[in-house]
A and B are shown apart, each in its own frame.
Chain A
Amino acid sequence: MTLQKNQQNLSDWVNQYSDILFRFALKRTNNEESAKDLVQETYLAAWRNVEAYDKTIPVKAWLFAILKNKLIDYYRKSSKNITEELLEDITEKYFDADGHWTKSAYPIEWKKADMESKEFYKILQKGINGLKQIQANVFVMKYLDDMSSEKICKILNITPANYWIIMHRAKIQLRSYLEKNWINQ
């Protein structure tokens, strides 16, 4: 049976799979609007390429493959302004001239153990969303998509040294954000 380019197919696919596609995209963009746009682009691409669809693959897997490609484009396109990002050393506000923690940035002990609840994940999502886009992207690519640093550098067209600086800045800020907005609440 060939897939028909018809309205019924499109609405079936949207009704069946858009929520799981949306959740997948939301965890990676940490932004509802971007996630929704990516899902829409996925269905548009599926609609346009329905004749090329390989029937040995389930529709769901096919849609996910399209979405993953769209996400790579999203990471790449949204990782602009690398030079600007590298010039501004945000770690300066955490350390004094001698490299000691500034008093206001002293890490505190985390007594609250819960870091696996839905409430925590919402805060984590906000924290990642609050990072500079390129920092958020490297963090997500590494820890959610489980990509190697080589692959991330290739996709974003950055050097290993720059990748490492960006990742370090992402982590130092995210830790501080979580301490203020989760641990200390």
Chain B
Amino acid sequence: MSISCKKATELVSKREEGNITLKERYQLLKHISACYLCKFFATQNKQITKSSKKYEAAVLEDNLSQAQKSKMISSILESEGV
């Protein structure tokens, strides 16, 4: 029996979590070979998780301003009664 796109996307997530059964894996592969929408979905999902790992490692220049740093210091000292 063939599965729906909704079910196929769920199986894509299940596969990424590593807890897909053999039967489900077969159902998913069969669906994806016939459905380009779900094929896009599966490929793109992989790209997103891969990019997220790169995002973690990327050096982005988000900095606190000098004013924010000074305020941070003074509010700690103030709250601690220094």
Residues of A within 8 A of B (CB): 7, 10-11, 14-15, 18-19, 22-23, 26-27, 32, 36, 39-40, 43-44, 47-48, 91, 94-95, 98-101, 106-110, 115-116, 118, 120-121, 124-125, 139, 143-144, 146, 149, 164, 167-168, 171-172, 174-175, 178-179
Contact = CB atoms under 8 A, between A and B. Distances in A.
Contacts, number: 126
Please provide the 8 A-B residue pairs with the shortest distance between their CB atoms, ordered closest to farther: A99-B4, A99-B6, A168-B13, A107-B40, A143-B52, A95-B6, A115-B51, A144-B56
B68 interface: yes
A30 to B, nearest CB: 10
Contacts of A139: 52
A120 B51 contact: yes
B49 A19 contact: no
A144 B56 CA distance: 5
Interface residues of B, number: 44
